[in-house]
Amino acid sequence: MPIRQLPEDLINRIAAGEVVERPASVVKELVENSIDAGARRIVVTTANGGMDLIRISDDGHGMDRQDLLLSVERHATSKLSMDDLDDIRTLGFRGEALASIGSVARLSVASRTADAESGLVLVVDNGRRSGPMPQAMNRGTVIEVRDLFAQVPARRKFLKSARAEGAAITDVVKRLAMANPQVHFVLEGTDRTASNWPSVGEGALQARLGQVMGADFVENAVVLATQRHGIVVAGMAGLPTYTRANSLSQFYFVNGRSVRDKVLVGAVRAAYADYTFRDRFPVVSLYVAIDPAEVDVNVHPAKAELRFRDQGALRGAVITAIGQALAAAGFKASTTVAE
Ligand code: ADP
Ligand code: MG
C-alpha cells in the first residue's frame, strides 16, 4: 500500500484512544478544564456510569465565539506558549481533550463570557461539527457528552458495568475536590446519591479532607507541613494506629495534580516502616509542591504519572515530613533521614 495522510477524523479517533479511555477520563479532562477556567462551582452530572450522559457545568470565564470554535480543534489550546513545555502550570495543555471526545461521542459545548449578550452552543457529533447557535445561559461553560463510544464498539466493549464506571467517576471527582478545596463540587445523577462539597476556601485542606475522606480520618491523622530542599510537603497522614488492608486510601498530589508515583508510595512506606505491620497501609493524603522545572508531567497522556529529576530529595522530604509530624504526636522512629 502507498503511504497516505490519514483523514482528520481518523487522527482524532486514534488520539481519543489515549486521552479518553473510559467515562471517568472524560470527567477528569472536563473538570480540569473548568478548574483551569477559574471556576468556583462545578456540577458533574452523569447517567449510566457516564456512558449515556456526562454533563459538566461551571461558572468559569467561558469562551467567546472564536475560542469556542477553536476549542474542539485538535492541538488548539490557550494554555501553552510556544516553548513552554518545561513550565506547565495549568492542568490541561495538549489541546486534545475536546477534539478527542467529539470524535467518539455526541459532544455539545455551550459557553458564555462575562461580557457576551448570550451564550453559544457548538455540537460535534462523532466528528461532525454544527453551530455555533445562540443559547440562553449564565456565564461559564456547560459541556455535555452523550452516548460515549456508541459508534466505537471496539471501545465500548472494554468498558465495565455502569456501576464500576460510576465508581471510577466518583474517584476522579473526589481527587479533584481534594486538590482544589477552593472549588465547590457537586456530583449528581442517576448513578449515585449526590455528593456536595461546598468551597472551604483557598488552602483549607483539612476542611476539604474532612468533607471527602470523612471526619474520622481527620481526627486520626497528623498535619504535614514541612519544606526541605525547596520541596513543600503538606496534607495529612493517618496515625500508625489508623491503617487499611490496601493502598486505596492513599492519595498523592504533586503541584495540584493527583498522581500515582512509586517514589511517593515508597517514601510513605518507609516513613511508617517502624510503626505499622508490613501488610497494613496508612491512610494518607499527601500534597507535594515542587519547582515545575523539577518534574516532567509529559510522560503519560492522562498525566497521572510523573518523572522527578531528584527522586532522593523528594523521598527525603516526604519521610522527614511524616516523621516529624508523627514524632510531634508522640510516635518516635528509630531511623531518621540525614540532613
Ligand atoms: P487543553 O485543556 O489541553 O487546552 P482541551 O481540548 O481540554 O485542551 O480544551 C481546549 C481549549 O478549550 C482550552 O485550552 C480552553 O481554552 C478551552 N476550554 C475548554 N473547556 C473550557 C471551559 N470549561 N471553560 C473555558 N474554556 C474552556
Ligand atoms: Mg483540557
Contact between residue 307 and residue 299 where contact means Cβ atoms under 8 Å apart: yes
CB distance 96 to ligand 1 below 6 Å: yes
The pLDDT tens digits of the residues spanning 16-51 come to: 666 788 999 999 999 999 999 999 999 999 999 999
Closest Cα to atom 13 of ligand 1:
77
Nearest CA to ligand 1 atom 23: 34
| Pairing of β 284-289 and β 53-58 | unpaired
Predicted TM-score of the model (pTM): 0.88
Closest ligand (CA of 97): 1
> Which residue in 115, 84, 92, 80 sits closest to 37, CA to CA?
92
Q: Give the number of the atom of ligand 1 that is nearest the alpha carbon of residue 33.
A: 20
- Write down the pLDDT at residue 4: 82
Angle, helices 162-179 vs 23-36, to 10°: value is 20
User: What pLDDT sits at residue 84?
Assistant: 54
Our answer on whether the CB atom of 25 is closer than 6 Å to any ligand 1 atom is no
Ligand 1 centroid to 3 CA: how many Å?
33
Q: Is 95 in the pocket of ligand 1 (CB under 6 A)?
A: yes
* Residue whose C-alpha is closest to residue 32's, from 141, 121, 128: 141
Nearest CA to ligand 1 atom 11: 71
Segments of the chain assigned to CATH 3.30.230.10: 214-328
User: Does the beta carbon of 100 sit less than 6 angstroms from any atom of ligand 1?
Assistant: no
Q: Would you say the CB of residue 33 lies under 6 angstroms from ligand 1? A: yes
| Cis geometry, peptide bond prior to residue 181 (ω within 30 degrees of 0) | no
Q: Where in the chain is the domain with CATH 3.30.565.10?
A: 8-197
Q: Ligand 2 center to residue 19 CA distance, Å?
A: 10
Which residue ranges of the chain lie beneath pLDDT 70? 15-18, 76, 79-94, 191-193, 202-203, 298-304, 333-339
- Report the DSSP pairing between strands 295-296 and 184-189: unpaired
Tell me, which fold does domain 214-328 have in CATH? Ribosomal Protein S5; domain 2 (3.30.230)
What's the 6 CA to ligand 1 centre distance in angstroms? 25
Taking the CA of 95 as reference, the closest ligand is 1
101 lines ligand 1 (CB under 6 A): no
Task: Give the Cα separation of 72 and 12 in Å (integer).
Answer: 11
Residue 2 CA to ligand 2 center (angstroms) comes to: 35
Centre of ligand 2 from the C-alpha of residue 102, in Å = 13
Architecture of domain 8-197: 2-Layer Sandwich (3.30)
Q: Which ligand is nearest to the CA of 88?
A: 1
Ligand 2 center to 204 CA (angstroms): 25
Q: Quote the ligand 1 centre to 96 CA distance (angstroms).
A: 9
